[in-house]
Amino acid sequence: MSSIEKAWYEGAKWLSILRPFSFLAERYARSKRKKYLSKIEEKCYLGRDGAAIPLIVVGNISVGGTGKTPFTIALSEYFISQGKRVGIVSRGYGSKSKRFPFDVMEDCSADLSGDEPLLLKQRLGCPVVIDPDRTAAVDYLLLNYDVDVLISDDGMQHYNMSRVMEIALIDGSRGLGNGRMLPEGPLREPVDRLSSVDFVVVNSAVDGFPKTSNSSCWSSWFEENSYFNMSIEPGEFMSLNAGQSEVITGEQVYAVSGIGNPERFYNTLSLMGVKYYPKAFSDHHDFSLLDFVDMVDHRIVMTEKDAVKCRELDLGNAVYLSINAKLDDGFLDRVYKQLF
C-alpha cells in the first residue's frame, strides 16, 4: 500500500491540506454527472437480430481493488447457468495494444489484453472486448457476437455508456477510507452516489462494519440503506504452467501480489495456514523475471489475476490460488429477475 493510500485509510490529519483540491474534484464529479445524466439512458442495446440487450455496470466509487473481477465472474457464471449468453466489455487497463477495440482471446498476451480481461476470458470463455471508449467496445461486441446480456467491468463514471443496472462494490475491510474525494481521500465520486445505483455489494466485511475506525463520515449511509454481502472463498492451489492442483505444505513461500488490496490475499493465506514472506507490488504491475530473482529457490504463491501475466516467465516453482465469490442467498436471483 502506498503512503497516500495508507493515509486515506488511517485518517491522517495532514491530508486536510489537500481539501481545496478535493472540493474541486467533488464539484467536477457532481457537475459531470449532472451534465451527462440525460445521456445515461436506461435503455437496452440492440443485438444483431434486433433483440434488446441489457447492460450492467459493475463498478465502484473508490480507487483500488474492491473485488469487481471475482464478482463479475460469479455474475457471468450465474447468467450462463440460466442459459444466457454473456458479453463483457472493459477498459483494458494496462493493455499495450495499438488497436482498439481489441477482442481478447484465451491465448493472447496479457500485455495486449490487460490482466483482468484475460482472466475473465480464460475463466468464462465468453466474448471479452476492451477499449478505453467502452461504447466502442459495446458496438464491436454486438456487431460480432450474439449475446443476451452485457457486463461492463468498471465504468460507473463512463457516462456516455447506456446501462439498465449499476452494481457498486465496496471493500468491506477498508470501507471508504476517510470518506473524502481525491486527492484527500480515495473516492472518485461522493458517498451519496451510492443512492443512485441498483445494488451495493460489500466485499469481505469485517466484524462491526460499517462502524470501523475513521468511518463516521460515511457509515451512516450503510446504516440507513440496504446492501448485500460478498465473501471470497479460496479454491485450489494450481501450478502456474501445468494447470494442475498442488498442495502447499509447511514450507515457507513467497506470496506475490500485484492487486489493489494485497492484504486480502495475505489474510486468506494466513487463514489457510500458509507461512509466507509478503512481496507486494503495485496494482496491475508488469512482472518480469527480475522481480523473482530473489525467489528462485523458494515456492512462489500468487493471485490468479497475477498468474495470467506470469505464465510466459517460465516460473517452474510458482502456483496461484484460485478464488470464487460467494454472495448472499437470493442476490443473483434478484438481479436476474430485475433484468429478465
pLDDT tens-digit map of 109-164: 999 999 999 999 999 999 999 999 999 999 999 999 999 999 999 999 998 899 99
pLDDT band at 214 (very low <50, low <70, confident <90, very high): low
Cell matching residue 83: 442459459
Which pTM was predicted?
Answer: 0.93
Share of the chain above pLDDT 90, in %: 74
Strands (E), the chain: 45-46, 52-53, 55-59, 86-90, 102-103, 128-130, 149-153, 165-171, 199-203, 228-239, 245-246, 252-257, 275-280, 300-303, 318-327
Instruction: Note the pLDDT of residue 283.
Output: 86
Q: Given CATH 3.40.50.300, say whether it is the number of domain 3-230+328-339.
A: yes
pLDDT tens-digit map of 154-171: 999 998 899 999 999 999
Report how far residue 90's alpha carbon sits from residue 70's, in angstroms, rounded to the nearest whole number: 14
Over residues 259-288, the mean pLDDT reads 90
Cell matching residue 64: 483500488
Which of helix, strand or coil describes residue 52?
Answer: strand
Share of the chain above pLDDT 70, in %: 97
